[in-house]
Amino acid sequence: MTEDTDLLALERDILERIDTAENEAALEDARIASLGKKGVVSERLKGLGKMTPEERQVAGPALNGLKARITEKIEARRSILKEKALTERLKSETIDVTLPARPEQRGTIHPTTQVWQEVIAIFADMGFSVAEGPHIENDWYNFGALNIPPEHPARQEMDTFYLKPKEDGSRMVLRTHTSPVQIRTMENETPPIRIIAPGRTFRSDSDRTHTPMFHQIEGLVIDETTHMGHLKGTLEAFCKAFFEVDDVKMRFRPSHFPFTEPSMEVDIGCHWEGGELKIGEGDDWLEILGSGMVHPNVIRAGGLDPEKYQGFAFGMGLDRIAMLKYGIPDLRAFFEADLRWLRHYGFASLDMPSVAEGLS
């Protein structure tokens, strides 16, 4: 056997051992057996020193070449084994992805809150600020200042909640409408005034469409030139934006409220389609709000001169327009906090109404 054939056999044996190493430990054994301190290749390399320069010139490159090939082979094998081991590990780590994820509680926003913000977004775009007032009012703000005389039917107990009499016999009322905010705003601001006043209101009433507590939104514009045409234009713009329709059929009917003159009630066209209410067109009418030009007596009660200032006011039910827009059948359910209802009709916390991004 020549030196050459010996080396070839050696190489073949080593490479075969590397190739057949089944895991990283076996591979490491093969490396140590060949290239380790006492490995066969290392031993032969040590033998180079004892050779003649001629012999060394032949054997040196042969042995170094062998070493390089073995090293390369080991690395290649190592990466294959690593990949194989990883594949096997991953296989063992399989999880049933069809299992339900960890449960999270999905919160919701109440439809009244949602619509409250929708209405603010729309009117803010038309330049209206938001004003507020107390729920427990005195007689003057809730009635007297709004041109409702003491004998008016609206002041009778059938409609109004009163608190127990004070020592002087007077009784505070739970505001029956958001209109007292008109007076409070006129008292504190100088025209031009453009506000809406959303909030809780109270009337002693209870059936499918009436609850002893509900939400109203008041609107008030006071300046020197605003007239009924502006009132109609504003309400039409609101209805289109709120109900998200390009056109809305509206009907303005003369009516009566003590605090406006002239007064009008506003209906929107609607029809039923497959059990669903469609807003904006159709042959039926739905009353949605009361409105009018602010009565001179009310402007005076707010501390302003009705010869100089005029404007309009309107009021509508926030919960009611929520019912119409979102197809919610029963007003009473708004205040029952039934979780099934809250989850069904509620809105996601990130669904912020915006004129730019969309309202619903």
Partner 1 sequence: MKFTLSWLNSFLDTDASAEEIADKLTMIGLELESLTNPADALKPFVIAKVLEAKQHPNADRLRVCQVDPGTGEAIQVVCGAPNARSGMIGVFAPVGSYVPGTGIELKAGNLRGEASNGMLVSERELMLSDDHEGIIDLPDDAPVGTPYATWAGLDDPVIDIGVTPNRPDALGVYGIARDLAAAGMGTLKPLDATPVEGAFKSPIGVELRFADGDTSPCPHFVGRYIRGIKNGPSPAWMQKRLRAIGLRPISALVDVTNYMTIAYGRPLHVFDAAKVKGTIHARLAKPGETIEALDGRTYTLDGTMTVIADDSGPEGLAGVMGGEASGVSETTTDVFLESAYFDPIRTASTGRKLNLLSDARYRFERGIDPAFTEPGAEIATRLILEMCGGEASEIVIAGEAPLRNANARLRMNRVTTLAGVEIAPRAQVDILESLGFAVAGTDEEIVASIPSWRPDVNGEADLVEEIVRIHGLEKIAHVMLPRTEAVTKPKLSVQQRRRFKAARALASRGFNEAVTWSFLPSDQARLFGGGEDLLALDNPISTELSDMRPSLLAGLIAAVSRNADRGTETQALCEVGQVYPGDRPEDERLHASGIRLGVTGPRSALQAPRDVDLFDAKADVLAALELLGAPVDKVQVQAEGPSWYHPGRVGTVTLGPKNKLATFGELHPHVLEAFDVSGPLVGFEIDIDAIPVPKSQRAARAALKISGYQTVRRDFAFVIEDSVPAEKLVRAAKGAEKSLITQVNVFDVFRGAAIGEGYKSIAIEVTLTPEDRTLTEAEIEAVSSRVVQAVEKATGGQLRR
Subset of 113-132 contacting partner 1 (CB under 8 A): 113, 116-117, 120, 123-130, 132
Is there binding between residue 109 and partner 1 (CB under 8 A)? Answer: yes
- For 186, phi and psi rounded to 5 degrees? -60, -35
Nearest CA to 78 out of 40, 128, 31, 32 is that of: 31
List the one residue from 249, 262, 278, 282 that touches partner 1 (CB under 8 A): 262
- Report if residue 243 touches partner 1, rule: CB under 8 A: no
Residue whose entry in the numeric block shows the structure tokens 């807003």: 279
- Which listed residue (31, 73, 77, 110) binds partner 1 by CB under 8 A? 110
Beta carbons of 114 and 321 less than 8 angstroms apart: no
Using CB under 8 A, pick the residue from 47, 61, 165, 327 that binds partner 1: 165
Q: Is 142 in the site for partner 1 (CB under 8 A)?
A: no
How far apart are alpha carbons 220 and 193 in whole angstroms?
A: 7
Q: Which of 15, 145, 174, 248 binds partner 1 (CB under 8 A)?
A: 174
16 is in an annotated binding site: no
Dihedral of alpha carbons 254, 256, 261, 264, sign? negative
CA-CA distance, 228 to 294, in Å (whole number)?
A: 10
CA distances from 142 to 133, 136, 150, 172, 206 (A): 11, 9, 11, 10, 21
What one-letter code names the amino acid at 289? L
Q: Tell me whether residue 58 or residue 163 sits nearer to partner 1 (CB atom).
A: 163
Which residues 9-28 are close enough to bind partner 1 by CB under 8 A? none
Q: How far apart are CA 193 and CA 264, in angstroms?
A: 21
| 83 makes contact with partner 1 (CB under 8 A) | no
Tell me the number of residues near partner 1 by CB under 8 A.
Answer: 94
Residues 317 to 356: which contact partner 1 by CB under 8 A? 334-340, 342-343, 346, 348-350, 352
Rounded to an integer, what distance in angstroms lies between the CA atom of residue 338 and that of residue 19? 70
* C-beta closer to partner 1: residue 92 or 98: 98
Query: Which of 151, 168, 273, 276 forms a contact with partner 1 (CB under 8 A)?
Result: 151
- With respect to partner 1, which residue has the nearer C-beta, 35 or 322? 322
Burial class of residue 46 (count of CB atoms within 10 Å of its CB; 0-12, 13-18, 19+) = exposed
Judged by CB under 8 A, the stretch of 37-45, 86-94, 248-256, 271-279 that binds partner 1 is 248-256
**Closest approach of Cβ 199 to partner 1, in Å?**
9
Binding residues for Mg(2+) are 261
